[in-house]
Amino acid sequence: MSEREICLSGTGVSKVFGFGNRKTVAVDNVDFNFYSGELVSIVGESGSGKTTLIKMLLGLTSVTEGEIQFLGKKRDIRTRSKKKEYWKDIQAIFQDPFSSYNIFSKIDSVLLDCIHMRGGRMLPKAKKIEMMEEACRFVNLKYAEMTNKYPFELSGGQMQRLMIARIFLLRPKILLADEPTSMIDACSRATILDMLLNLRNETGMTIIFITHDMGLAYYISDTVYIMERGKIVEFGSADEVILNPQADYTKRLLSDVPKIHEPWEFSKRNQTPPPQTPVEA
């Protein structure tokens, strides 16, 4: 374990909204270590501070207390230019694909921007198109169909896949995925999850996956963090946490998830069929 490189870590990270007696502690003194190439899931109910934590990691909100370390050094994003530099290494996919795009720019320019951001501004046009085609192929979209379209002409699943194509071009060190599959149906969910796994395997990216779905977290992740009311109550490898939970909160969450091998106590699946009473003549 020790030879693995720590990619992103935090000590005593807190976020407090408001002050005085109107204070809300959204994230409460959490410590975490995310190793490079790891797929981490942060699981919690709504209001547990998952999204606030992600926003702090992205640098979209300030950290009230504590320190975030990036690649072993203290993270420095105090100026605009440093922030831009930081965002080359850390990128995000959000929950709602419909609000993630600029509705005025075409899909080509969405992808072109990514190439430009990686310093490919001076590349010949043919090379740029080749790169865009490769990215589209990676996410099973046809580049020829994508050109000259606006993002809102795509379906939710296609938009989310296009988002992954962006990440494929940008090659950040860390990808933060904030419930990317909660707004699309179960079938396209499988495709998106497979793509994220492929992305991790191909580029060695660290993926931090936020979800409230235990089944999904168990399937996709190496390490699982469970958050309750701003605190991390349990963490460990997926098998440890999901199959052998220690914290009461994790146990409760797991008992509330609908399962197919051990149904809920009141489910009809537990009832034996009523004995057939012979019809009285």
Partner 1 sequence: MSKIMLEVNGLTTKYITRYNESVYAVNDVSFQVEEGKSVGIAGESGCGKSTLALSLMGYYFPPLHYTKGDIIIDGRNISGMDPDDVRKNILGTEIAYIPQAAMNALNPTRKVIRFIEDVIWAHDPKISKKDIHDLARERFETLNLPEDTLNKYPVELSGGMKQRTVISISTILSPKVLIADEPSSALDVTSQKMVIKMIHDLMELGYIKSMIFITHELPLLYNVTDDIMVMYAGQIVERGSADQMIFDPIHPYSKGLMGSILVPEDGTRDVKITAIPGTPPNLKKPPDGCRFAERCQYVKSQCRVQNMELAGLGNGRTSRCMMSEEELREAYKNE
Q: Which of 61, 191, 198, 203 binds partner 1 (CB under 8 A)?
A: 191
If one asks whether residue 50 binds partner 1 (CB under 8 A), the answer comes out as no
Q: Which of 116, 118, 212, 229 binds partner 1 (CB under 8 A)?
A: 212
DSSP labels, 79-120? SHHHHHHHHTTEEEE-S-GGGSS-TTS-HHHHHHHHHHHTT-
Q: Within 110-149, which residues bind partner 1 (CB under 8 A)?
A: none
Note whether 53 binds partner 1 by CB under 8 A: no
According to the binding rule CB under 8 A, does residue 194 interact with partner 1? yes
**Which of 251, 96, 246 has the alpha carbon at shortest distance from 177?**
96
The answer to whether 247 contacts partner 1 (rule: CB under 8 A) is: no
> Using the rule CB under 8 A, which residue among 8, 159, 216, 226 binds partner 1?
216
Among 184, 226, 227, 232, binds partner 1 (CB under 8 A): 184
- The span of 82-90, 119-127, 128-136, 236-244 binding partner 1 (CB under 8 A) equals 236-244
Distance CA 67, CA 74 (A): 7
Q: Does 58 bind partner 1 (CB under 8 A)?
A: no
Nearer to partner 1 by Cβ, of 123 and 193: the residue is 193
- Sequence-separated (6 or more) residues with CB below 8 Å from residue 252: none
Helices (H), the chain: 50-58, 80-87, 107-117, 125-138, 143-146, 156-170, 186-203, 214-220, 238, 248-256
Which of these segments, 15-23, 101-109, 131-139, 183-191, binds partner 1 (CB under 8 A)? 183-191
Q: What is the dihedral of CA 49, 10, 95, 42, to 10 degrees?
A: -70
CA–CA separation, 224 vs 239, rounded Å?
A: 9
- Tell me the per-residue interface mask from 145 to 164 with partner 1, x by CB under 8 A, - otherwise: ----------xx--------
Binding residue for partner 1 (CB under 8 A) from 53, 93, 164, 217? 217
239 binds partner 1 (CB under 8 A): yes
The residue range among 15-23, 49-57, 108-116, 264-272 that interacts with partner 1, by the rule CB under 8 A, is: 264-272
How far apart (Å, rounded) are the C-alpha atoms in residues 28 and 26?
A: 6
SS3 content of the chain, % helix, strand, coil (to 5): 40, 25, 35
How many whole angstroms separate alpha carbon 98 and alpha carbon 192?
Answer: 16
- For partner 1, which is the closer residue by CB, 14 or 41? 41
CB atoms inside a 10 Å sphere around CB 167: 24
* Positions in the binding site for partner 1 (CB under 8 A): 45-46, 155-156, 184-191, 193-194, 212-219, 238-239, 242-243, 252-254, 256-264, 266-269
